[in-house]
Every structure is written in C-alpha cells, then in structure tokens.
Amino acid sequence: MTQAPRRTALDATHRALGATMTDFAGWDMPLRYGSERDEHVAVRTRAGLFDLSHMGEITVTGPRAADLLDFALVGNIGGVAVGRARYTMICDAEGGILDDLIVYRLAETAYMVVANAANAQVVLDALTERADGFDAEVRDDRDAYALLAVQGPESPGILKSVTDADLDSLKYYAGLPGTVAGVDALIARTGYTGEDGFELFVRPADAPALWEALTAAGKDAGLVPCGLSCRDTLRLEAGMPLYGHELTTDTTPFDAGLGRVVKFEKTTNGGDFVGRAALEAARDRAAANPPRKLVGLIAEGRRIPRAGYPVVGPDGAVIGEVTSGAPSPTLGKPVAMAYVDAAHAAPGTAGVAVDIRGTHEPYEVVALPFYKRQK
Amino acid sequence: MNNPQQLRYSKEHEWLSAAEEGVSTIGITEHAANALGDVVFVQLPEVGATVTAGETCGELESTKSVSDLYSPVDGEVTEINEDVVTDPSLVNTAPFEGGWLFKVKVSGEPDDLLSADEYTAFTG
C-alpha cells in the first residue's frame, strides 16, 4: 500500500516559492528553491531559513523521566541542566544505533526528544517499551510542532529583531521558551549546518506567519529559503553524521567515531542502560583492534563520490565504502565521508581512491570536519 | 519553460540544432537542467567518437545525482564544448546557448524527434 506523502504546515508557502519538492521519509519536503549551491553559500555567509517540520518530537514527562531516558539512551540525560540540550543516541541491545537524537530538558521533569523523521516511530516505540516500570509518560508530539530553523552568521541579528528573548545568554545547545514575531516558540540554539543558528519549535498553525515574519526580518541580511539539498552539503562539510548513511543499526557509536556520546559512568538505574554490555565490547574492540574508521576524503578531480561507492587502496583492493558524498561549495571540490580500514585511515595516507563507476579517482584522506566556522 | 522553436528535441531531453553543413549542435533542455539541479561535472564524448541515437555517450553529475547523457542522433562527434567542461554551471544558466555540449556530423536520426511545441507538450 502506498501512502500519500505528508505535508508540513508550510506546504503552501513552499509551493508559492516555487520549491522543487522531494519525498523524504514519507514527507513531501522542499529540496531546493533555486540553486542549492546558492542556498549553501547563503547559510555559510549570511543566513538561510529551513522548514524541518518532518523531524519527530517526543515528550517525556514525569517524576522518573530522567531515569527513563538514562536507561533508554546512551547519554547522561539526568545530568543535562534545565534549558540545555544534548546530542545523544538510542541503541538496540546489540549496541546498534537506532537513531541519533537531540534531547532538550524543558523542565526538571520534562524533556523533548527530537528524532529523525525516518526513525521517529522506531524511537517512539522503543521509548514507550523501555518506559515499562518507570513513573514517566512518553507522548507522541510529532503533530504538535512545526520546526523552522534560521542558520548562518546573520541569524542572531535576524532573530533579535523579532524577539525579546535573551539570545545573548542562550548558549549553543540550549533552548528557552519565548515569543518570536508574536508566536509562542521553543527557541533552541542548535542546527545541522556547522553555523551559528536557531531552531524554533512552534505550533503548526503558527508556522506560516512565523516563516513570513522571519523572511521579512532577514531580507536586508540576505536570508534565503533553503531546502534539504543544501542542508545535506552543509552538514557534510561540517562532518556531521546522517542516519542511514554514517549511522545504522549495524554501526555502534564507537564504530562511527562517536564513542564519546556513550556515558558508561551513569549512576541511575544501577548504571544499567540498553546496549551497555554490547557497547563496552564495542569500545574495547575499537580501542584494541579498530575496524573501519570514519574519515573525510577530498577529491583531486571533479567527479562526485556517492554513498555506497567502494574506496580502494594503492593496489586497487577495496578498503572501504563511501557513506556520503557531494561537491563541497566551500572547498570547491567533491568531498566524502567514508568508512575505511584502519590501516588506511590516517590523514595523508597515500594511494587512496574512490571507484566512481569503474574509474579509480584519487582522493586525499583528511580528518573531519572539512569545514569549521570561525568563532 | 521556453523551448526555442528552431530546435528539435528528444524524449531524453536533449535538443538538436538544425544541421549546418551536416553538423548539428546538441545540448540538454532547460527542463532537464532544472530537474538535475546544479550541474557540477560533465563527461562528454571524445572528438571523433561515433555516437548512436538513444545510447549513452557521457555523464552529467549534479549535487544529488548522476545522469547518463544520450545522443539524439547517429553520427561522429566533431567538437565538444570545452567551456562547459571547465564551468558545468553553464548547463543550468544557459542550456540552449553557452551550455551546449557537443557537435555531431549527423549520419542518421530517429523518426521520433519532437518539435518545440511537441516537446513542450511532452514535458507539460
């Protein structure tokens, strides 16, 4: 049975702007409005406005909400201060990644978990199941929120012109309730672009008016609407993993080079959390006998590496696989993230190439990220 | 979408100029360029190569995808557009002009090439 794709509260806005739409995780989302390259450059140099309403919000409340999340997720969620956010993951019992998440602590006993659109149901089901025995409620709030993001160096100025919220004291990975252009919002200083920026969780009915207000506020600063295509190249340059590409159920956080998100020192629940034993083994394996490592690759030529293309060594043997690849507007060259055998993973390793439809194109192994903003 | 009247079109979204001394210029349409998104790499056939109508003779890569380039006619490649190799964005900015791809000394053509109006209807 095929289901019609879901549309966000901003669907009419996107169509009026002439967006090229695409199916993404069951949602009809804007891919680009004009040139994805121009949108990418706008976010790096000025500001971009995104509709991210496909992301999945799950609210966890109750006296033992923190204990539940400490048990269900790999992070130390009870240690997150009210008003702050944490990047974390939810793993299965074998340590495989079910999703990567951002968890906002809204109040002492209230959290919002933001899951990727494609995994929102999986995360909701897992949290609901893992809540058994905890005095906590897991609520599906996917339909309660639209999500707009303003990203780029001009974004603080743009947002300040339409809110009284104290943005200067809002740190990276923090969120506070406030009013933006007359609309109630959770204002979070988070994003997925490698730039300073804000994510605004609002009621869907308020989203079109907020979009218009932000568009007007950002006009002089060069803000442009941005689609998912440039979001992908922005996050790739910033070395940020994407679920389904760098992260899968066959990958543990240690395999992905993100072992730091796993907090074994938790004291809640007797230190137990889902996946603990498997993740301890994955940690030891990664330290002693690392499997493939996630690296950056920069092309010497101009052909684009795509997810799934083999990475080959000097003798032509396959030594890895591309997980994400795209032309980097900032570097002016194609770049990729790839899992590569540890022996070939050191930056500067010679003789590494990507098999692009039968041709071995030379690539330089580099440390991630490709791009880091100047602060 | 404006499809120049003096050109003919294939269902694979190439355009073909009227032959001058047997040589036609070939490119992809604005419709195809828009569908691809920003073109970042083109691989064109070599000068002297024989191309066959409907068969692959190169590649067009955009940020999101790679597409085969087909020839709309049979013939021998007489020239390729080096400007578009250097600056593939010409395919997006001027698909019917500076973004042309290659020239062919035409030896045969299929009977299903479209007029501008027919192509406009086809892509409508």
| B63 → closest Cβ in A302, A326, A357 | A326
Q: Do A36 and B92 touch (CB under 8 A)?
A: no
Using a CB-CB cut-off of 8 Å, the residues of chain A touching B92 are: 35
By percentage, how much of chain B surpasses pLDDT 70?
100
Taking the Cβ of residue A304 and every Cβ of chain B, the question of whether any pair is shorter than 8 Å is answered with: yes
Residues of B with CB under 8 A from a CB of A: 34, 37-38, 40-41, 43, 59, 61, 63-64, 66, 89, 92
Q: How far is CA B102 from CA A14, A40, A233, B22, B85, in A?
A: 36, 30, 30, 14, 11
Strands A293-299, A223-226: pairing is: unpaired
Mean pLDDT, rounded, for B13-23:
96
For A328, other C-beta atoms within 10 Å of its C-beta total 20
Closest by CA to A206, choosing from A235, A186, A227, is A186
Residue A61 Cα, gap to closest chain B Cα (Å): 40
pLDDT of residue B111: 93
Q: Can you tell me the distance from the alpha carbon of A179 to that of A176, in angstroms, rounded to the nearest whole number?
A: 10
pLDDT digits over B72-83, tens only? 999 999 999 999
pTM of the model: 0.94
User: What ipTM was assigned to the predicted interfaces of this complex?
Assistant: 0.84
Q: Which residues of chain A have pLDDT under 70?
A: 1-2
For B94, other C-beta atoms within 10 Å of its C-beta total 16
pLDDT of residue B1: 73
**Which residue ranges make up each domain of chain B?**
22-107
Closest by CA to B103, choosing from B42, B46, B54, B62, is B46
CB-side neighbour CA atoms (13 Å) of A42: 27
Q: How far is CA A39 from CA A187, A226, A328, A330, B15, in A?
A: 23, 6, 13, 12, 29
pLDDT of residue A206: 98
Q: Do B41 and A302 touch (CB under 8 A)?
A: yes
Using a CB-CB cut-off of 8 Å, the residues of chain B touching A327 are: 40-41, 63
Using a CB-CB cut-off of 8 Å, the residues of chain B touching A233 are: 63
pLDDT of residue A290: 84
Q: Do A36 and B61 touch (CB under 8 A)?
A: no
Taking the Cβ of residue A139 and every Cβ of chain B, the question of whether any pair is shorter than 8 Å is answered with: no
Return the CATH fold of B22-107: OB fold (Dihydrolipoamide Acetyltransferase, E2P) (2.40.50)
pLDDT of residue A359: 94
Mean pLDDT, rounded, for B26-46:
95
